[in-house]
Copies of this chain bind each other. A is one copy, B any other.
Amino acid sequence: MDKNKYANTVISTRVRLARNINNLPFPRRLQGQEEIYSVLLKGVKESCDALYKNQYRFYQMDKIDDADSLSLVERHLISKNLQNSQYGAAFITEGEDISIMVNEEDHLRIQSIVKGFNLETAFNKAAEIDKELKNHLDIAYDEKLGYLTACPTNLGSAMRASVMMFLPALSMTNMIETVILRYQDEGITIRGIYGEGSKAEGYIYQISNQAAISLSEKEILKRVGNAVENLINAEEIARNNLKAARGIDLQNDIMISYGILKYCCKISSQEMMQDLALVKLGVNLGYLKLDMNKLNDMLVLSQPGMLCYISKQKLDARGRDIERAKFIKNYLE
Show the binding face of A for B, using Cβ within 8 Å: 248-249, 251-252, 255-256, 258-266, 322, 325
Contact = CB atoms under 8 A, between A and B. Distances in A.
A331 to B, nearest CB: 15
Copies of the polypeptide in the assembly = 2
Nearest to A247: B265
A258 B251 contact: no
Contacts of A251: 265
B266 A248 contact: yes
A255 B264 CA distance: 6
A264 B256 CA distance: 5
Given A248-B322, A259-B261, 6 more contacts: A249-B266, A252-B265, A252-B266, A255-B263, A259-B260, A259-B263
A288 to B, nearest CB: 10
Nearest to A262: B259
Contacts of A322: 248
A255 B329 CA distance: 12
B265 A248 contact: yes
Contacts of A248: 265-266, 322
7 contacts: A248-B266, A248-B322, A252-B325, A256-B260, A259-B262, A260-B260, A262-B263
A259 B264 contact: yes
A256 B259 contact: yes
A266 B322 CA distance: 29
Most buried by B among A252, A260, A264: A252
Contacts of A261: 259
Nearest to A318: B248
Contacts of A266: 248-249, 252
A9 to B, nearest CB: 24
A248 to B, nearest CB: 5
A275 to B, nearest CB: 10
Contacts of A263: 255-256, 258-259, 262
Contacts of A265: 248, 251-252, 255
Those 9 A-B pairs whose CB atoms lie nearest each other, nearest first: A259-B259, A259-B263, A252-B265, A255-B263, A251-B265, A252-B266, A248-B265, A259-B260, A256-B260
A58 to B, nearest CB: 40
Nearest to A258: B263
A255 B265 CA distance: 7
A287 to B, nearest CB: 9
